Structure 1
């Protein structure tokens, strides 16, 4: 294809969405996503197998080179992500979207875009370059350009930096929990002072660390062996709030074979299990805390490990990572209602907990904790950290309205419908954003 052909095939997000045969798909963030409803893990695994067949027969994108579709299999659905190959989509992504939708339809599966979204964390900084090495290490992320840090496993929310208008020296009311394996957590805390950060508090189980501007993360666990079950039958797994095992794979066929076996085991156990397929790796993930509160997960983990070993696979125990956002609030019930509406999340029903989770365990959890009502200066200061939630463009206005009905207020809408900034009842902000139309408006 010469340069003129490439130019003619370059598609904006909006053009991708209106192309024939892409009705199941939404461009959210950079990429095109679809959610296909399934009755079981096994049904999702069959869809994955057929998607892999499409990729193999078409020979593109190159899954082995790390540019193929990304698949997140859940008990009741499958999310498929088609990464944008550059500044624009091409006819190749359109053709794959059509083929994947046809494959799902042949299995009797329908698409439902209502739960699709992409989260990212925004950080206001006067000197982003001074903060990025700290966050690279704390999150285990890689740098993309001058202002973005990305999870190399392409499962967790990216972090991006923007210029801060004026210093805001007090503590944020938002922080991150960065959970990884115990040796990695311990080494991270040790390295923080060399990266321009500081250890603010150290406890037996975790440490609170801060970058040069005071943005905080809790790094954990620090206690030796706190990240694992006992016994060789589960040695591939690590307990990082979720029980997780990451299996590097030698190719798409090996990945599909592992997913087939694990999906059947999860269905037989009657337990929901996240199975995330990326080029070169399959991650098994129970979801936060479920391994502690529902019987059977340790047995399922052992069975899944045996299945993986039977395929010649060994986990990489340095890879498991979990990320969540904590929000300090005075009126926790009111703030929690807002964030459930703004994120499209559901409340964890367990007594005494404040967690909010995605209904399909597709994006990271949030939780709330108490804030001193007399800490007026900190409550009045605008946070340096905010949340971006990209949603389907045909659902954005409804999401904004839900957030407002739950006690929110719009603080910025001059760029709508590209995005709205909405604050919760205590001033913590979220940007509700869409992707289609940005190229046409700003030439992005």
Structure 2
């Protein structure tokens, strides 16, 4: 499917394009990504005064000896969810574990319990599960965002309203613009998911009152249209990369992806300033792991080729 990015001056301007086109649309404070093969999209964007920009999409591939079994595990862990897209492909050669790339998935507690399917999690935090070939995921349960009825705090604060009409997206976008708080709107035929950036809901002491107030206003707009929230599709996904030389590896990914470093000194996170692609963080590796990962990234951009960071973590760059 063709994707395109259009620069926009506000959430509301992006929401106007979402209302004018058919297809999946991701509205951000600085623009909108459209997932559609509709030739009318560019014309609609021009009519609204939006300009086309460059776009990169970061997805994930897990290589497996038994793709069917591994795919079933990850489908259960990930749920319906938002991006990034996970693909499972046939392993081309034997590769010993352990991966240097780790997956964190945060979902509402009810969905985490169901996804565990009776399996007892393990690991240092008691949340780790592994597929049939040993690829690990930290599947973390989240709770409701304090002070709200519909929102969940899943590292990112988020909510989903099925069958939400375009007028709701426009109203919620205008509320975000007035509050001056960047939000992420993923508009789909089945519903609308709204999220803040990772940890954006947190204040100095618990939930940030300004974010909670915005969430409450969006809940009010939903209630006025008779919408009911559904937590089942909600998920937050991020990736950790083990590295012997964290600054060098981190700098590689910042340069490749156009990410920005999290300003908090205690964190190694880097993030997409547009809010389209997943957060990466970096962990200190004590001993070298020369084997190739079974998990790698695929970046859809302007070039084609397989490259790797200074310590061998691979990314396929393709048009």
Query: TM-score, structure 1 length as denominator?
Result: 0.67
Contact 2:112 2:140 in 1 (8 A): yes
Alignment of 1:204-283 (within 5 A): 206-221=126-141, 226-231=142-147, 234-249=148-163, 254-283=164-193
> What's 1:165 paired with?
93
Q: Secondary structure at the match of 1:44?
A: helix
Alignment RMSD: 1.8
**Paired residues, number:** 315
1:48 to 12, 15, 18: 18
Alignment of 1:41-440 (within 5 A): 41-51=11-21, 68-82=22-36, 93=37, 96-97=38-39, 99-112=40-53, 114=54, 116-140=55-79, 152-153=80-81, 155-168=83-96, 170-192=97-119, 199-201=121-123, 203=125, 206-221=126-141, 226-231=142-147, 234-249=148-163, 254-293=164-203, 296-372=210-286, 375-376=287-288, 379-391=289-301, 395-396=302-303, 419-434=304-319
Structure 2 distance, partners of 1:106, 1:131, is 46
Distance verdict in 2 for CA 1:38–1:130, change over 3 Å? closer
Contact 2:95 2:294 in 1 (8 A): no
CA-CA distance at 1:202 after TM superposition = 5.6
CA-CA distance at 1:358 after TM superposition = 1.3
Q: Secondary structure at the match of 2:71?
A: helix
Q: Secondary structure at the match of 1:388?
A: strand
Structure 2 distance, partners of 1:354, 1:282, is 31
Structure 2 distance, partners of 1:431, 1:313, is 41
Contact 1:200 1:210 in 2 (8 A): no
4+ aligned runs moved over 6 Å, structure 1: none
Tell me which protein shows more strand as a share of its residues: 2
Structure 1 distance, partners of 2:298, 2:77, is 20
Alignment of 1:11-50 (within 5 A): 31-50=1-20
Greater RCO (CA < 8 Å, at least 6 residues apart): 2
CA-CA distance at 1:155 after TM superposition = 3.3
C-alpha deviations, 1:278-316, integer Å up to 9, x for none? 002011111211111565111100110010010000110
Contact 2:240 2:281 in 1 (8 A): yes
Contact 1:122 1:162 in 2 (8 A): no
CA-CA distance at 1:177 after TM superposition = 0.4
CA-CA distance at 1:158 after TM superposition = 2.2
Query: TM-score, structure 2 length as denominator?
Result: 0.92
Structure 1 distance, partners of 2:241, 2:13, is 37
Structure 2 distance, partners of 1:183, 1:368, is 29
Contact 1:153 1:278 in 2 (8 A): no
CA-CA distance at 1:153 after TM superposition = 4.6
Tell me which protein shows more helix as a share of its residues: 1
> Based on CA coordinates, which of the two structures has the bigger radius of gyration?
1
Structure 1: runs of 5+ lacking an equivalent: 1-30, 52-67, 83-92, 141-151, 194-198, 397-418, 435-444
C-alpha deviations, 1:188-211, integer Å up to 9, x for none? 335347xxxxx44263xx511112
C-alpha deviations, 1:376-409, integer Å up to 9, x for none? 4xx1111111111111xxx32xxxxxxxxxxxxx
C-alpha deviations, 1:117-161, integer Å up to 9, x for none? 222211222222232222121112xxxxxxxxxxx4553322222
Distance verdict in 2 for CA 1:356–1:247, change over 3 Å? same
Distance verdict in 2 for CA 1:202–1:353, change over 3 Å? closer
